[in-house]
Amino acid sequence: MLLNTLDAMTENHVYQQSGGDSTASHDNLSKAKDHAAKQLDPERLRWPQIAGEGSSLNRPGAEQPNASSRAGSLNTIGELSSVVNLAQGGGASGLVGHMSEVAWIDQAFAVVRGRPDATRPRLLTSGVLDPHVFSATNFIYFVDDNEVLAVNEDRIDPYQRPSFSRSLILTEAYFHALQGAFPFVVRDEFLANLFDMSTPQHSWRGRRQLAKANMIWAIGSKWLEMTGMNGEALSPTDTHPHYYARARALGLDHRVVFDHPNIDQVQAMGLLALYLLFNGSVTRAWNTLGCAIRHATALGLHLQVTDPSVSNEDLRRRARTWYSLYSLEVLISEITGRPKSISVSDVTAPIDLLAGPASGSTRSTSLDDSTRSVPPVPISTTQVGEPILLEISRKAWLEHLKLMQNNNTATSSSSSSSLSPGLTIGDDDDHAIPTTYLPQRLHLCLLSDKIARQLYSGTNDPSWLGLQRRIHDLEAELRRWVETLPENLSPASSPAGRGDEFLNPRIRIELAMYYHSLQMILYRPCLCANSAEAEAVESREFNHRAARACVLGALSMLALLPDVPTIKEIYRLLPWWSLLHFVAQASAVLHLELAIDAQHFEGEVDKLVESVAKAMRYLHCMAGASLSAYRAWKIFRVLLNEVSRRYHNMDLNDFAQDAPRPHGWTEEVEKVMCVWPTD
């Protein structure tokens, strides 16, 4: 078998494994569920009407007398409601802005617990400290899933590497897991340089390259662990904390301020920020990313280059690096609600460069495609290195996936099921990532940034009419994105030809979920109880439709997900890096609508409760392997209990009373983390 012979092929060659135990461990894949993929069938995926029942929100009319934007749910924008601290820097400590779902959770608790003026106009001015005890920081659910410093970098060999075959699997896992969303590194280029790192290189350049490689392997290892695809005979040092420890020993450390890095180091810092975010270490990721953005700005990566001596390849590399940092900054801003360190008005780097030939990984294949040759790529052999290396890596990955499928087949007779094209659980490896995906995804990031600046910054027109007009204009931009989305990226599209049938189906799901996330963020200011008595009819109608659109965004997002989740399947089929964030957003919106007595969904409470149950199932499913998901589940379970008291016939018998406790959640952690105020 290829995997068994790779190490023998390289044992006496330039690539040597410098240590590591071969103690066997076995981690089978979870059962493949027929219904999971059926729930993700393209026929089920449709773009809903943004504004609820109508095609578009009517432009707001006359304003109610003396109404400010404080009359809505964003009545404290620009104010610090309570002094915050960064504690030990774990999880997502620190300030939480109104754009974050954490603030939405706080708002729902405020309503059900009867906080004065929870949804009424307030007369505070910007900068005033609000002494209310209900601080959103009490409901931050992100926790460090693993102690990032658990492995002492001073006691390991920084030049130790996984076996050659294992390094290929970890590399392919990394590029498969991220599906081109954050293209800090291009697959073919990285693999072409893999042989260059075959022997210890003590130069600074060699150390930096190996540090970056260790971060790629750390992310790949974490995703394989999450999906149950690590395989057998792993070394005790073949874990993502060990790979990060080696990166720290080589100089890539979130505690260290970097001095004059080049573009390679900026990419490595971006990878480090990704890894920290995936670990739930949001504050550390935010700090590391901010440092990387400063260095990227100093290198001028945000600017258009007119120097004719710069090659097209270097231009694309600069654009990929910059916009990867930017899209990650947008995601963390959505999670925390904090302002960004990037001003788009200063950015001139062409987005069109992202659609170039090296914008992401090349097309690979499905499990039954192991005999097919490597597809041609639109770059020369000298750019990607020896083609044989790419072929070896691809076949190693396919063989690993086939082994995982065989292990699953041995424990489940339903693993080889007939599912929708491109959505099978057993062979959901990398299909083609179209060159249009990254620019379209980035356009949503730009819209998110614009929404944050125009609705959540606290520096715009304070009138409610001004807020409504901005929502109307932003809604039009979001609708234009849907209308101009290439057909092969639409979730409603189905494979039409030879090219489309090999497109990665996960990118359509990710775009659809991100779109619904932006719906919730855009219309969230209107999701509040009716409070202005003198409100004009047109304004009241606008608020009602926008509030419904916000809730419909949550309902539509949850409708995309399989009804019965299994942990290893959802991390393979769904955007795992933001899944908890997306589910928490939807759950917060639904709980808030229920907290205000479902004013915008009268007679449809059962529909809301059904979707809340689905969101809770997903949090329950993720809780056993994630401290962050477990804490989120506990917060929403308390909120659900309190919301249910507002309804005489809300049946919670089908809701789990407790979730599986993840490793690392101790009684001490319980006392420290579960300190949110009680009624």
Looking at residue 332, its pLDDT comes to 97
The predicted model gives 108-129 an average pLDDT of 57
d(CA 441, CA 484): 13
Looking at residue 264, its pLDDT comes to 93
Among candidates 304, 346, 302, 337, which has minimal Cα distance to 323? 302
Q: What torsion, rounded to 10 degrees, do the Cα atoms 670, 672, 676, 679 define?
A: 70
Are 503 and 28 a contacting pair, CB within 8 Å? no
Looking at residue 126, its pLDDT comes to 29
Output DSSP code: residue 425.
S
Task: Return the H-helix or E-strand segment holding 327.
Answer: helix 312-336
Are 322 and 346 a contacting pair, CB within 8 Å? no
Looking at residue 135, its pLDDT comes to 58
d(CA 642, CA 636): 10
Q: Flag whether pLDDT at 596 surpasses 90.
A: yes
d(CA 452, CA 522): 9
For residue 673, name the pLDDT band (cuts at 50, 70, 90).
Answer: low
Distance of CA 72 to the CA centre of its chain: 28
Sign of CA dihedral 461, 462, 465, 469: positive
Residue partners of 575: CB distance under 8 A and separation at least 6: 181, 506, 509, 510, 513, 514, 582
Looking at residue 229, its pLDDT comes to 87
pLDDT above 90: percentage of residues in the chain: 47
Least confident of 161-175, 228-242, 349-363, 502-516: 349-363
The predicted model gives 377-402 an average pLDDT of 66
Average pLDDT, rounded, for the chain = 78
Burial of 133 (0-12, 13-18, 19+ CB in 10 A): exposed
Which of the pair, 602 or 12, is modelled with greater confidence?
A: 602
Both tokens of 234, joined, read 């792993």
Among candidates 209, 285, 278, 284, which has minimal Cα distance to 247? 209
Looking at the chain, the number of H-run helices and the number of E-run strands are 21, 0
Looking at residue 111, its pLDDT comes to 92
Looking at residue 215, its pLDDT comes to 96
Are 625 and 226 a contacting pair, CB within 8 Å? yes
Least confident of 11-25, 71-85, 186-200: 11-25
Give the residue extent of every domain in the chain. 2-35+164-411, 37-141+436-673
Radius of gyration of the chain (CA): 25
Least confident of 380-384, 460-464, 579-583, 616-620: 380-384
Residue partners of 324: CB distance under 8 A and separation at least 6: 182, 183, 184, 267, 270
The predicted model gives 203-222 an average pLDDT of 92
The predicted model gives 158-169 an average pLDDT of 89
Among candidates 579, 674, 593, which has minimal Cα distance to 635? 674
Residue type, 578: S
Which of the pair, 204 or 104, is modelled with greater confidence?
A: 104
The β-bridge partners of 432 are 503
d(CA 366, CA 368): 6
Phi-psi region at 66: left, alpha or beta (left = phi > 0; alpha = psi -120 to 50): left
For residue 217, name the pLDDT band (cuts at 50, 70, 90).
Answer: very high
The β-bridge partners of 68 are 463
The predicted model gives 50-67 an average pLDDT of 49
For residue 117, name the pLDDT band (cuts at 50, 70, 90).
Answer: low
Write down the residue that tokens 């919730």 correspond to.
520
For residue 60, name the pLDDT band (cuts at 50, 70, 90).
Answer: low
* Helix, strand, or coil (residue 496): coil
Both tokens of 617, joined, read 């199932």
Q: Flag whether pLDDT at 384 surpasses 70.
A: no
d(CA 537, CA 525): 18
Are 355 and 435 a contacting pair, CB within 8 Å? yes
Write down the residue that tokens 């090219």 correspond to.
499
d(CA 362, CA 433): 7
Q: Flag whether pLDDT at 443 surpasses 70.
A: yes
d(CA 448, CA 518): 7
Residue partners of 246: CB distance under 8 A and separation at least 6: 153, 156, 157, 158, 160, 210, 211, 214
Looking at residue 127, its pLDDT comes to 32
Which of the pair, 322 or 417, is modelled with greater confidence?
A: 322
Least confident of 278-292, 524-538, 557-571: 524-538
The total number of residues shown for the chain amounts to: 679
Cβ density class 210-224: b for 16+ within 10 Å, e for less: bbbbbbbbbbbbbbb
